[in-house]
Amino acid sequence: MEMLHTNGELVTRTQGTGVDVVFLHGWGMNSGAFTSFIPYLSDNFRVTTIDLPGFGENAEIIPSPYNVETLAQSIVDSLPDQCVLVGWSLGGLVAQKLALLVPEKLTGLVTIASTPRFIAGPCWPGIAADLLTMFESQLEKNYQKTLERFLAIQAMGSETAKQDIKAIREQVTQFPDPAEEALKKGLRILSTEDMREEVGRITTPTLRLYGRLDSLVPTSGIDRICELHPQADTVVLPHASHAPFISHPQQTADILFRFAAGVYQRKAS
């Protein structure tokens, strides 16, 4: 049974029993993105989903300044103690920041289709800067259309792209619309945030999960991320794109379960 909670200001949702696992969604989305995935986990985990400030049920909450640090700070009080924190895409940036700010709250960190820096740069594969600039200008005119395009890019390459887009769209539209300011400033985070010098300091056991067909977090950048954060485990799903938990839910759930089991075993010994 799903339970709604308010910790501090933020609304969170919890279901299932077992080890605490917390999910943070990506840009333009909300916790609805995980709706079809949670049943794969809720027999073994107590799953909490948190809408990032400015999105979903927390659309009214806009920290100032709106950046990765303030987003992370606003989530701290909503994290259950000793949880495995899973951040997808933009949520992965926030999750990495939380691992640096409050390592004592986390037992494990998982990033899905995420990176310390999203935008491409010298010797750094990533999203082309002009693509994000295009999204920023389109956002002014029609945010629904912009989100549709972003969804299409996220699913691109997956064999089940059409179904994936439909599933995410149906799930996220069950939640309130995002705040325009959060959409704009969230894009700004994707184009400016650079945690490359920080991630090597993450001490929490970490798993980085990628889709080989992801065009937003290209696999050509994985070796660079490994160099910056060699302590992390890396798994690449060969047929997945930017949303492996939608296209390959069972595989993704199995990987999460093995990681969490390993983390708790290490802790016990």
What residues are annotated to the active site? 89, 214, 242
Torsion angle, alpha carbons of 231, 95, 85, 48, to 10: -170
Q: Helices 143-155 and 161-172: crossing angle, nearest 10°?
A: 140
Could you give the CA distance from residue 172 to residue 169 in angstroms, rounded to a whole number?
A: 5
Could you give the CA distance from residue 15 to residue 32 in angstroms, rounded to a whole number?
A: 14
Do 192 and 198 form a contact (C-beta atoms < 8 A)? no
Could you give the CA distance from residue 196 to residue 227 in angstroms, rounded to a whole number?
A: 10
Any bridge partners for residue 15, and if so which? 47
Complete DSSP assignment for 158-183 = -TTHHHHHHHHHHHHTTSPPPPHHHH
203, with CB counted inside 10 A (0-12, 13-18, 19+), is exposed
Report strand pairing: 83-88 vs 3-7: unpaired
- Region of 155 on the Ramachandran plot (φ > 0 left; ψ -120 to 50 alpha; else beta): alpha
Any bridge partners for residue 109, and if so which? 85, 206
